[in-house]
């Protein structure tokens, strides 16, 4: 075995396979995947125990990623194993495949891209949350002079916003009291257990589920709370729409309402509208959107605080493109106006390169295939596209790949350098690319501009800001402690 494994960073042991290496690296899992992929030319085959199988392929090779996400995407799906682990998602878009995914995608795409009512509602609720929750809470902690966990604050902002967007209800988790709202706590707990299911052999979590012990007991409890919350929103929305002959609150156009009010025969009503369908769609949407923007922003604020010259350039850009008098009012920009913030856009891309909120994109092959790297994958093989490793690849980004350098995104003419979609994939690529991409950029920019115009965000000294090992998304381990001070202009 020593001889066989002499060129590999991990040993493939009899019976247990490479599991010991995975377990001993579980606190640095994304770096472990990066080490594995890099030392094997970008693609690595992980051998799990003999039984039950835990084999997977991890790749960060751009041509393989392009092949899987775009060129031969028909052969790669989320797969039955992924759906089994993420069974709380039901038939929602995030876990579904084939015709179920196609019809959901068509409907959600037409809603998010072409529906004016939805776009207006989206802007309105985002603005309301910014003006009435985020800024007042920042103002409050500034006046008290206390430290605050910026990640926690931004998470609450995202959760309230995505619930308003999908379910039409504001759980109000972002307020000066920082309340522990049961639905949010439960959503987070469910996610933790799903990560656990990813890391242990199927047999283990299935036995725990059958006996209702350990993590699986936590999952059942959490899911009950989440389901009560989501089904509650569905029935109160139905009730409200039934009791109104004309839609009183015509501005309310959340996801649920959109499904309930669309004319028969339109794409949105084509599904039928069972409560279970609405629950699965809304659940997927909330989960896809609740912990992405805030992760991007958390790492952004950390990176600019640790690279003050970058922060100063962003401030100059904000000053150059904003109304001259800063009277403390918030400023809103159209997408076209936001395009002028080239350095800010570059800094956000650089942040997402090094800290992609979704660090690993899961796929599964349908038929066996040969990847462009020459690696063969069998039928029904689990494949992890390591987006995190791609962002830290010397081959893709050059020898300064570990440096935080927004300039790499700006051309000599001062425009954004468009990277091929398969080397920069924090939002995925191809037919399954993220449906919230444009909205995310718009919201991240608007939050940054309004926060930085009015406040200095200072890191609390002597804290360790590290990647979390307990989440599917790229959270920090202990949060991001900051102090907020008024910006003097
Ligand atoms: C920085 C922010 C975000 C990042 C980095 C991100 C990233 C991703 C990634 C990697 C995927 C998986 C693509 C695949 O399966 O190949 C995805 C899918 C998706 N995202 Fe996002 N996302 C973000 C924000 C959002 C927001 C705010 C929403 C909702 C409003 C959203 C809605 C979705 C949906 C519905 C899908 C499923 C698409 C499908 O399977 O067809 N995302 N996103």
Interval 173-211: pLDDT, tens: 999 999 999 999 999 999 889 988 887 878 889 999 999
Give the list of residues 6+ apart from residue 238 with CB closer than 8 angstroms, or none: 260
Per-residue pLDDT at 142 exceeds 50: yes
Q: Check if 112 has its Cβ closer than 6 Å to any atom of ligand 1.
A: no
Task: Read off the pLDDT of each residue in 431-443 and give the average, rounded to a whole number.
Answer: 95
Using an 8 Å Cβ cutoff, are 181 and 172 in contact?
A: yes
Is 434 annotated as contributing to ligand binding?
yes
- Looking at residue 264, the DSSP 8-state letter turns out to be T
The pLDDT assigned to 270 comes to 46
Residue nearest to atom 18 of ligand 1 (CA): 434
Residue nearest to atom 39 of ligand 1 (CA): 432
**Tell me: the pLDDT tens digits for 81-113?**
899 999 998 888 999 999 889 988 988 898 888
Element (H, E) at 280: helix 275-290
Q: Which atom, in ligand 1's list, is nearest to the CA of 429?
A: 16
- Report in angstroms the alpha-carbon separations of 37 from 195, 390, 393: 21, 10, 10
User: 3-state SS of the chain: helix, strand, coil percent to 5?
Assistant: 55, 10, 35
Residue nearest to atom 8 of ligand 1 (CA): 427
Give the list of residues 6+ apart from residue 111 with CB closer than 8 angstroms, or none: 118, 255, 258, 268
The pLDDT assigned to 43 comes to 94
- The token pair at 299 is 């790492």
The pLDDT assigned to 265 comes to 54
The pLDDT assigned to 240 comes to 79
Q: Check if 359 has its Cβ closer than 6 Å to any atom of ligand 1.
A: no
Number of helices (H), then strands (E), belonging to the chain: the values are: 20, 10
d(CA 31, CA 53): 23
Give the list of residues 6+ apart from residue 206 with CB closer than 8 angstroms, or none: none
Using an 8 Å Cβ cutoff, are 19 and 6 in contact?
A: no
Residue nearest to atom 37 of ligand 1 (CA): 94
Q: Which atom, in ligand 1's list, is nearest to the CA of 105?
A: 41
DSSP labels, 68-85: IIIITGGGEE-HHHHHHH
- The structure tokens 């040969």 sit at 370
- The structure tokens 């682990």 sit at 85
Per-residue pLDDT at 301 exceeds 90: yes
| pLDDT grade for 52, boundaries at 50, 70 and 90 | low
**Tell me: the pLDDT tens digits for 287-298?**
999 999 999 999
d(CA 444, CA 448): 6
CATH number of the structural domain 105-358+389-486: 1.10.630.10
User: What own/partner pairs with CB < 8 Å and gap ≥ 24 does 224-233 have?
Assistant: 225/182, 225/183, 225/185, 225/186, 226/88, 226/183, 226/186, 226/187, 226/190, 226/283, 227/279, 229/182, 229/183, 229/186, 230/167, 230/279, 230/282, 230/283, 231/275, 231/279, 233/167, 233/168, 233/169, 233/282
Q: What is the pTM of this model?
A: 0.93
- Tell which residue, 331, 332, 286, 344, has the closest CA to residue 90: 286
Q: Check if 62 has its Cβ closer than 6 Å to any atom of ligand 1.
A: no
Sorted by where each begins, the domain ranges of the chain are: 19-104+359-388, 105-358+389-486
d(CA 489, CA 427): 36
d(CA 295, CA 307): 18
């Amino acid at each position: 075995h020593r001889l066989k494994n002499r060129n590999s960073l991990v040993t493939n042991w009899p019976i247990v396979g490479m599991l010991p290496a995975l377990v001993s690296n579980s606190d640095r899992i994304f770096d472990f995947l990066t080490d594995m992929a890099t030392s094997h030319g970008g693609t690595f085959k992980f051998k799990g125990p003999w039984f039950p199988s835990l084999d997977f392929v991890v790749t960060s090779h751009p041509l393989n990623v392009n092949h899987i996400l775009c060129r031969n995407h028909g052969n790669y799906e989320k797969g039955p194993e992924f759906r089994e682990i993420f069974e709380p998602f039901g038939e929602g878009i995030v876990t579904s495949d084939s015709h179920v995914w196609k019809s959901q995608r068509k409907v959600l795409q037409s809603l998010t891209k072409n529906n004016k009512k939805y776009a207006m509602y989206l802007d309105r609720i985002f603005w309301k949350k910014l003006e009435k929750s985020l800024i007042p809470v920042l103002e409050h902690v500034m006046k008290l002079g206390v430290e605050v966990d910026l990640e926690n604050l931004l998470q609450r902002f995202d959760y309230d916003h995505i619930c308003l967007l999908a379910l039409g209800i504001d759980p109000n988790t972002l307020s000066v009291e920082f309340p522990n709202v049961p639905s949010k706590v439960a959503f987070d707990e469910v996610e933790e257990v799903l990560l656990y299911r990813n890391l242990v052999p199927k047999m283990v979590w299935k036995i725990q589920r059958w006996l209702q012990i350990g993590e699986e007991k936590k999952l059942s409890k959490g899911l009950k709370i989440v389901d009560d919350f989501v089904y509650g929103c569905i029935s109160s929305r139905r009730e409200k729409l039934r009791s109104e002959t004309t839609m009183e609150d015509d501005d309310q156009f959340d996801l649920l309402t959109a499904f309930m009010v669309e004319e028969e025969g339109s794409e949105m009503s084509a599904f039928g509208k069972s409560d279970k369908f609405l629950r699965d769609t809304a659940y997927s949407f909330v989960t896809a959107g609740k912990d992405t923007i805030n992760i991007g922003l958390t790492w952004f604020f950390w990176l600019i605080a640790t690279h003050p010259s970058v922060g100063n350039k962003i401030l100059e850009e904000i000053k150059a493109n904003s109304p001259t008098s800063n009277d403390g009012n918030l400023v809103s920009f159209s997408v076209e106006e936001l395009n002028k913030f080239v350095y800010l856009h570059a800094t956000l891309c650089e942040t997402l390169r090094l800290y992609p909120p979704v660090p690993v994109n899961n796929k599964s092959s349908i038929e066996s295939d040969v990847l462009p790297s020459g690696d063969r994958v069998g039928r029904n093989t689990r494949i992890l596209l390591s987006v995190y490793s791609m962002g830290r690849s010397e081959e893709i980004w050059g020898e300064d790949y570990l440096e935080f350098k927004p300039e790499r995104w700006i051309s000599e003419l001062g425009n954004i350098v468009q990277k091929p979609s398969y080397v920069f994939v924090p939002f995925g690529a191809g037919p399954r690319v993220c449906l919230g991409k444009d909205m995310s950029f718009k919201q991240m920019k608007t939050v940054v501009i309004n926060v930085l115009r009015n406040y200095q965000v200072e890191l609390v000294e002597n804290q360790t800001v590290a990647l979390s090992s307990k989440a599917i998304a790229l959270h920090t381990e202990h949060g991001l402690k900051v102090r907020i001070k008024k910006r003097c202009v």
